[in-house]
Each structure stands twice: as C-alpha cells, then as structure tokens.
Amino acid sequence: MNPILTVAMALKSWQIGLIVAGAVLLVAVVLCIIFREKLKKWLRVYKSEIKKIVWLPWPQTRKSTLVVLVALIVCALVICLLDLGLNKGFLKLIDLISQNGAA
C-alpha cells in the first residue's frame, strides 16, 4: 500500500485541514517574500487611493443603512408570502387533481 495514503488515512479530517492551511500560509509567505517590492508598491497605491475617497457623513450613512435594511425586510416578506401562497396553491392543485383522478 502507498505510504502517503496510509498516513492520510490515519489522520483525522481536522488534522488534514490544519496541514492544508499551513501549506497555504507557507506559500503565501514565500510569495510575499519573493514579490516584496511589488507588494510594497501596491500597498502604497492602495493607501493613497483610500485617502482619496470622500466618505459620507455619519447621519447620512445611518439613514442609507436604515433604508437598505427596510427594503431588505420588505423584499424578504414578499418572497416569503409568495412562497407560502404558491406552496398552498400547488398543494390544493395536487389534491384537486388526485381527487378527480381517483373518482
């Protein structure tokens, strides 16, 4: 039997996940070391672009957030009511068809 397969079968799933996460972290660190200068330049550009953003004042942000939440709740309720109505309608239709077919 393949020794790698034997070891993999002995490990628990969380251990395999930990090994994979460690490997991904190692690759990320190596790539950051290799591309250090490009990463520094990208972070400088990113920071300067973030500073250029004009953020909304807090009261306007709060108001916009409230509008979005209310719209979200209304849409969720409409979808819920449509789902319930269609479900009841299809059940009634199935009962009607089965009663006519049995009679």
Q: pLDDT digits over 72-96, tens only?
A: 999 999 999 999 999 999 999 999 9
Which residues have C-beta within 8 Å of that of residue 8, sequence separation ≥ 6?
16
Question: pTM higher than 0.85 for the full model?
Answer: no
CA dist., res. 17 & res. 36, Å (int): 28
Q: What is the mean pLDDT of residues 50-72?
A: 95
Query: How crowded is residue 52: how many other Cβ atoms within 10 Å of its Cβ?
Result: 6
Per-residue pLDDT band for 13 (boundaries 50, 70, 90) equals confident
**What share of the chain has pLDDT > 70, as a percent?**
86
